[in-house]
Amino acid sequence: MKNTIATTMNELRTDHRNMVMLLNLLDAETVRLADSDEPDYELIYDVMTYLAEYPDAVHHPKEDLIYRHIKSKRPDIDDSLRHIEADHEALSQASNEIRRDIDAINAEGLVDRQALAVALRQYSKDLRKHMYWEERDLLELADSMDDDEEWATVLMKYDLAHDPLFGSQVERRFQKLFNNIQWHTVWSGQHNFV
């Protein structure tokens, strides 16, 4: 059966590791931007596009469903979990704002580079902190829940969700980013959340 707790948690943890790799790339470009060096705007844009299309559209909504499912089973622990939906909303807004800034730069618009560097740094910090919390609390809690038919029903809508960058087939528009990830991972070996 596809949607067991174990398979879903594996997918979410894999997504987290992938996102950390992307944030490592993003951080390197942010340093260049803050140092008034010319960063790779295409790379920044590709990372932010991927984050909007897969984590924001699939990974986070999947976690929201898991959160609601846990809440229905364990209302007593809701206080420690309920910030998850607001976190996802804030991360999505921040990534959209950053993409708009990159669009403006590509269109020769006026964008404060230092402000963009601050926004990128904050975004990376917030997403890392968020994933660290999920690994430690939300996913641990989900691991301890009983597997049942409801899980399969809850998560069925994401059965066919395709990851355009880390899935079985890298989409052509993300090929350059994929190559960058491979190079960066080989040389840095960093996978830390914080």
Binding site for Fe ion (CB under 5 A): 60, 63, 134
Contact call for residues 23 and 127 (beta carbons, < 8 A): yes
Decide whether 101 or 163 has the Cβ nearer to Fe ion: 163
Q: List for the chain the helix, strand, coil content (%; round to 5).
A: 75, 0, 25
Decide whether 58 or 111 has the Cβ nearer to Fe ion: 58
Report the sign of the C-alpha dihedral through residues 88, 169, 143, 66, in that order: positive
| In the complex, least distance from residue 60 CB atom to Fe ion, rounded to whole angstroms | 5
Decide whether 33 or 128 has the Cβ nearer to Fe ion: 128
| Distance of alpha carbon 38 from alpha carbon 30, whole angstroms | 10
| Distance of alpha carbon 43 from alpha carbon 124, whole angstroms | 15
| In the complex, least distance from residue 26 CB atom to Fe ion, rounded to whole angstroms | 17
Here the tokens at position 55 are 């984590």
Decide whether 60 or 128 has the Cβ nearer to Fe ion: 60
Decide whether 101 or 134 has the Cβ nearer to Fe ion: 134
- Exposed / middle / buried, residue 158 (Cβ in 10 Å: 0-12, 13-18, 19+): middle
| In the complex, least distance from residue 13 CB atom to Fe ion, rounded to whole angstroms | 9
| In the complex, least distance from residue 190 CB atom to Fe ion, rounded to whole angstroms | 19
